[in-house]
Amino acid sequence: SVALVGGAGFIGHNLALKLKELGAEPYVIDGLQVNNIGYYTSDYEKNIINEKSLQLMKKSTFLINTARGELIEENSLCKALNNDQIAGAGLDVYNNEPDINPQLLKAKNVVLLPHLGSATSKARNAMGFKVIENLKSYFKFFVCERIKKIIRITPKSDSHKV
């Protein structure tokens, strides 16, 4: 069997290793840009899994996406699932989260989960501290620099002297 895993983060990487242990041939798609405020999908990567790419997959393919919902054109995936064009799919990310495509909900060969990759105490605490660090940075650099610019451009006046 062939498995296409969307995302080579912690979850995607470990899923690919488990699939390999089970005798599958995992292919990992990972073209996401990462910076300190999150993950982004470029216009090039949107719908990279579409009707054409789904037609190229073997019938034994299980498509697994743990990266970003925008990677998969969901209507084409639903068509492929309902026509047994591929064996199945496992998703924990969706195009219009939290709304899930009703066709996906009806498909019999798909496993749908909420995005649980960050649902650990350690991850949630880290996210909270990241918010605090981002706020500190914002106020330290952006607000302070704006205040300095305002002070520099404000004309000095002797009318406020007592």
Per the annotation, the verdict on 146 as an active-site residue is no
Active-site residue (options: 13, 25, 51, 115)? 115
- Among 97, 133, 145, 146, the one annotated catalytic: 97
Q: Is 145 a known active-site residue?
A: no
Q: Which of 68, 70, 73, 74 is catalytic?
A: 68
Active-site residue 97, yes or no? yes
Q: Can you tell me the distance from the alpha carbon of 91 to that of 81, in angstroms, rounded to the nearest whole number?
A: 13
| DSSP symbols for 26-91 | EEEE---EEETTEEE--TTTTT-B-HHHHHTS-TT-EEEE-S-GGGB-HHHHHHHHHTTSSSEEEE
User: Which 8-state DSSP code applies to residue 101?
Assistant: P
For residues 101 and 94, is the Cβ–Cβ distance under 8 A?
A: yes
Return the active site residues: 68, 97, 115
